[in-house]
């Protein structure tokens, strides 16, 4: 359960400026109902001073999303577009007395909606639109490489989990996590981490274990009058049965650990544990 400040709870339970302006001069919309979060920001702007006279929001999301949108409207009302454009997600979080890091994407969404609204007023394309076609990293939440680079720089992020907290990228299917790790390293000027090996299905794991036992373990044991059979595989726990001269041998434990387990860890999975069973 997230721990929210009293001000977050106040803006969640009593949101300010909720609704929509029918005669809005600028509208910014980000997110998607499909992705789980969406925010629409409507602005009424004085054409002479470019001051925001009125603002409304509609959002679909969690309590943090509602509170962040409500806080944003309070922060921008009365400011010029130039002043509003300088607001950051940290400003929203600070105004609310802080947000859990896991919910910072809500304040980021608010700033993105504001930038989109200002761009629409000035007749410009949404800030992220020029990156969408060729720069998409997280297809589940529509997060571009530029967005990830921006949050890494602005908040000195170092891990994939932190990027997920700020953008939601990688928070669904997880297929983009390796690429996110690569972008973090490149943005920070650090060595790119090696790609993680693909996780084997249980059937693939069993087949690979059987192959290693047949090709690399059994011939050596049979040469000494022994043998080995695969009994069961539960995750990384592999149960085998020794027979022939290996059965009851005082060195059986050494064989299991130094030969069988060592080879399976090298070839199949570094977390494999080998035990003897019947």
Residue 37 has pLDDT above 80, yes or no: no
Q: How confident is the model at residue 131 (pLDDT cuts 50, 70, 90)?
A: very low
**Structural domains of the chain, ranges and CATH numbers in brackets:** 6-121 (3.90.1010.10), 129-188 (1.10.10.1100), 202-276 (3.30.300.130)
What would the pLDDT profile of 210-221 be if each residue is shown by its tens digit?
998 998 888 878
Q: How confident is the model at residue 193 (pLDDT cuts 50, 70, 90)?
A: confident
Distance CA 61, CA 73 (A): 16
Residues designated as active site: 35, 106
> Are 118 and 28 in contact, with CB atoms under 8 Å apart?
yes
Instruction: Report the distance separating Cα 153 and Cα 115, nearest Å.
Output: 18
Please indicate whether residue 133 or residue 120 has the higher confidence score (pLDDT): 120
Q: Please tell me the pTM assigned to this model.
A: 0.65
Average pLDDT, the chain: 86
């Amino acid at each position: 359960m997230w721990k929210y400040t009293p001000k977050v709870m106040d803006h969640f339970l009593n949101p300010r400026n909720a609704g929509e302006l029918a005669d809005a001069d600028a509208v910014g919309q980000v997110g998607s109902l499909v992705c789980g979060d969406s925010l629409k920001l409507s602005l009424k702007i004085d054409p002479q001073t470019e001051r925001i006279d009125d603002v409304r929001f509609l959002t679909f999301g969690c309590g943090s999303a509602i509170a962040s949108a409500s806080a944003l409207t309070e922060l921008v009302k009365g400011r010029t577009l130039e002043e509003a454009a300088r607001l950051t997600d940290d400003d929203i979080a600070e105004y609310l007395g802080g947000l859990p890091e896991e919910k910072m994407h809500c304040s980021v969404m608010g700033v993105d909606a504001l930038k989109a609204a200002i761009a629409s007023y000035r007749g410009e394309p949404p800030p992220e639109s020029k990156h969408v076609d060729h720069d998409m990293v997280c297809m589940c939440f529509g997060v571009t490489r530029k967005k990830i680079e921006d949050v890494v720089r602005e908040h000195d992020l170092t891990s994939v989990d932190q990027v997920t907290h700020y953008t939601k990228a990688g928070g669904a299917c997880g297929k983009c996590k390796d690429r996110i790790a690569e972008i973090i390293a490149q943005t920070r000027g650090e060595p790119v981490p090696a790609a993680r090996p693909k996780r084997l299905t249980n059937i693939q794991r069993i087949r690979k274990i059987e192959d290693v036992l047949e090709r690399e373990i059994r011939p050596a044991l049979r040469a000494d009058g022994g043998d080995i059979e695969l009994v069961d595989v539960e995750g990384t726990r592999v149960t085998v049965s020794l027979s022939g001269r290996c059965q009851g041998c005082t060195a059986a434990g050494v064989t299991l650990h130094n030969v069988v387990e060592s080879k399976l860890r090298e070839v199949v999975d570094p977390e494999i544990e080998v035990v003897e069973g019947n």
